[in-house]
Structure 1
Amino acid sequence: MSRAESLRQQAKELMEKAKKVEQEERNHRIQQSGQWLEKNYAKIKDLLPEDLRKSLEKIFVKAGPPSALPKKKKV
């Protein structure tokens, strides 16, 4: 394998690794946001109009508890 091919392969592997890391970070942020929202939901729902409150309740019921989310794998 030539040096150029080797470098291309290394670049490809690094890009794949970067994509995985970005996805894990995105999932972690989503999970944290969900936990924050669940923690503060009682305070927030009192400030919402009735129609938005009902829509939000439907979303929570459909999504289930945060414990139902896939666990983050430690690498």
Structure 2
Amino acid sequence: MSVSPRAHSELSSACRIAGPWPTYTCFRNLPERDRWVLYGSAKAYRQALEDQGFVMAESYETFIKRVTDEMEL
């Protein structure tokens, strides 16, 4: 889905995703390789939301720290 610049601006001001969301603590007991795959997926999902114009309340640095802490990476 492509978002026009005007729609992107409207989405950015209207769609602020408060966090932290989602939580990844349920994955901490998986093998390390699987946790790294899920970590990559979490980053890709966040990027996809941002590409759609969503603005995250949680900074990227805070997101990375939280996810790695929750997954014990």
Q: TM-score range by the shorter chain?
A: 0.3 to 0.5
Scaled by the length of structure 2, what TM-score is found?
0.39
Structure with greater proportional strand content: 2
Scaled by the length of structure 1, what TM-score is found?
0.38
**RCO higher in structure (CA 8 A, sep ≥6):** 2
Structure with greater proportional helix content: 1
Higher CA-based Rg: 1
